[in-house]
Chain A
Amino acid sequence: DAGVTQSPTHLIKTRGQHVTLRCSPISGHKSVSWYQQVLGQGPQFIFQYYEKEERGRGNFPDRFSARQFPNYSSELNVNALLLGDSALYLCASSPWEDRSYTFGSGTRLTVV
């Protein structure tokens, strides 16, 4: 079975640009959550979606938004990129009822 897949694996953006990160959950998992991991720190929760509805939001500015599609895949959008947005962005999926979160390999975003 395929695990959680994230795309792209790496990308470089310029300050002020917009970026879209994508996540495909494990088949049968209806919940997707997003995390930002700055080098040397633990992951910070950004969003959780379940059945296409937002179920949780972390302490991130409105420049960050996300959505979940009918096939349970998800997108994370970040507008007006800042240098401080450079990080590894992780996606995790779970069946919701069973709190077993499986993480993808992440997207490494560099803002220059």
Chain B
Amino acid sequence: AQTVTQSQPEMSVQEAETVTLSCTYDTSESDYYLFWYKQPPSRQMILVIRQEAYKQQNATENRFSVNFQKAAKSFSLKISDSQLGDAAMYFCGGEISYGQNFVFGPGTRLSVLP
């Protein structure tokens, strides 16, 4: 079965500092999509960033960027200039399994300290 692993159940970062959340995955597909979603206490899933596996360039969205290492099956999220509003659960996931749609990891709870 295709899986997504997030090895850090909890992380914390000082406001304005940078933090990196780790994600690894297992897939036999050659083309797929990877995502990071943020889930605040409201439980609304909010798309943070998306990466297409065939693209070599790492995706960037404002303060959020990824380090995508296809051969290593690694997809980490870097948050720069952390803000209090970044505190949430972060889920890594992707369309890595044909016919199974989305596979999510177990999540990383990020706390931002003032």
Do A and B pair up? The answer is yes
Q: CA separation between A37 and B39, bound complex, in Å?
A: 12
Q: Which residue of A lies closest to B9 (CB)?
A: A40
The 8 A CB mask of B68-94 against A (1 = contact, 0 = none) is 000000000000000000000001010
Taking the complex as formed, is A8 at the interface, i.e. its CB lies under 8 A from any CB of chain B? no
Q: Decide: A41 and B47 in contact? CB cutoff 8 A.
A: no
Q: Decide: B105 and A105 in contact? CB cutoff 8 A.
A: no
Q: Which residues of A contact B102 (CB under 8 A)?
A: 33, 35, 43, 45, 92, 101
Partner of A100, one of B42, B50, B106: B50
For chain A, the bracket of interface size reads: 20 to 34
Q: CA separation between A98 and B112, bound complex, in Å?
A: 32
Q: A90-B45, A103-B44, A103-B45 are in contact. Are A43 and B91 (CB under 8 A)?
A: yes
15 extra interface residue pairs, beta carbon distance < 8 Å, beyond A42-B104, A57-B99: A33-B102, A42-B91, A43-B45, A45-B101, A55-B99, A56-B99, A56-B101, A58-B101, A90-B45, A92-B45, A99-B95, A100-B47, A100-B50, A101-B35, A102-B47
